[in-house]
Amino acid sequence: MTIFPLTKYKTSKLSILSNVPTFKLETTEKHYRKRQILVQKLFDYESDYVNRLHACRNYFERPLLKHFQTPKSMSPRLAQSDIMALFEPVNHLFQAHESFLDNLIQRFQIWGPTQLLSDVLMQLVNNVGVYDRYFERFPQMMSILETLGRNKEALKLLEANVTNPGGIGQVHLFTLLEMPLYAFSQYFHFVTELRKMTDPTHPDARNLQKLQFHLARIDKEIKPRFNICRNISQLIDVSLTVRDCPLLMDQPRQFLKSGRLMCAEGKPNADVRACFLLSDHLILARPVDKGLVYKAKIKIKHITIKAIRRNSASFVLAVDDSPDHTRQLSEDLGDLLSAAGAAPTKEYVLKADSLEEMLAWVRDLQDAIQNVQRR
């Protein structure tokens, strides 16, 4: 199938207002024009969506499969079967939406003021099974992607300049793989708006109402899975964005918040730190020209909020590594001292841009600390 440029169909091509029936002409024409703009947005969205799903295959799956065919490129933690598992759900989505886009194009070729669209849109309801598979496999997909991000050679293949028709430019594979998470809510919103813009006397009005009901039910049903996958997506975003970041998919955890704070670690001068608060760790990263570099991963259970300084919108964290005999053989001097109970408490002074931001960080940190203590 040809992947169409986003400008393949102009709104003006769909405007056939001369055929509008004479009943309630002004109202009908107004609704029709708004409806046309909405339908054009659907086509533009679907064209872009199919382009991006297609880019997954051409610009990422094939190069990665080729890379892992070479024995010297094989990773002890990855195999070709993992690459296939990474892309399989997206390939099924591409096939489903390729067919949906073809049906849209065929309908637009005979478009008129009273033309139906609900029967074509019903294909979205029939595609629920494909999305079920995607949501089910998403944790595995992200785990594979995170592991790929630790392979120096494969890391180069996770970003590409997509130049196919309707090209999207420089894009990271992660962005394309998480895109279907938000697709169904987009379709539900579109159908809801389309029904509002459709005159009650329009031959498609009742069917659009039924379709809206079906999509509302599906959107509600997938919400719990969406929330789980969205959390995983946020964790992977951190893992891939912060250079040298430890693996975050090694055990279940929640992403809580992120932001930038000034940080002083036992020295008078403070530096900017990107801060990522997770349910079990606080991750600090240093901004550099080409992104973020990992600086620290602090266990929430070791943190105490020692002081709050309202006048400077700052707070002090005391980090006390309690004795842990499982780390006595560690080569890290800090771990050895901690295991012996001799490691000094480390302090971090974190400063926000405003008192409100500082208090929000303190509240969220305190909540995380209390949640860990309850376990």
pLDDT band at 25 (very low <50, low <70, confident <90, very high): very low
| pLDDT average, residue stretch 292-311 | 95
Which residue type is seen at 118?
S
Secondary structure, 3-state, the chain: CCCCCCCCCCHHHHCCHHHCCCCCHHHHHHHHHHHHHHHHHHHHHHHHHHHHHHHHHHHHHHHHHHHCCCHHHCECCECHHHHHHHHHHHHHHHHHHHHHHHHHHHHHCCCCCCCCCHHHHHHHHHCHHHHHHHHHHHHHHHHHHHHHCCCHHHHHHHEEEECCCCCCEEEEHHHHHHHHHHHHHHHHHHHHHHHHCCCCCCCCHHHHHHHHHHHHHHHHHHHHHHHHHHHHHHHHHHHHHEECCCCCCCCCCCEEEEEEEEEECCCCCCEEEEEEEECCEEEEEEEECCEEEEEEEEEHHHEEEEEEEHHHCEEEEEECCCCCHHHCCCCCHHHHHHHCCCCCCEEEEEECCCHHHHHHHHHHHHHHHHHHHHC
CATH 2.30.29.30 in the chain, residues? 255-374
Class of 11-243 in CATH: mainly alpha
Least confident of 76-90, 269-283, 328-342: 328-342
Q: Say what the pLDDT of residue 19 is.
A: 40
For the chain, give the percent of residues with pLDDT over 70. 83
Q: Say what the pLDDT of residue 375 is.
A: 81
| pLDDT average, residue stretch 26-50 | 84
Q: Say what the pLDDT of residue 322 is.
A: 59
**How many Cα atoms sit within 13 Å of 326 on the Cβ side?**
2
255-374, what's its fold? PH-domain like (2.30.29)
CATH 1.20.900.10 in the chain, residues? 11-243
pLDDT band at 9 (very low <50, low <70, confident <90, very high): very low
pLDDT at 136 over 50: yes
pLDDT digits (tens, 9 = 90+) for 328-339: 334 455 555 555
Cβ 192 vs Cβ 101: under 8 Å: no
Q: Say what the pLDDT of residue 16 is.
A: 31
Please tell me the pTM assigned to this model: 0.84
For the chain, give the percent of residues with pLDDT over 90. 65
Q: Say what the pLDDT of residue 260 is.
A: 97
| pLDDT average, residue stretch 340-346 | 62
| pLDDT average, residue stretch 35-64 | 93
- Tell me the average pLDDT of the chain: 85
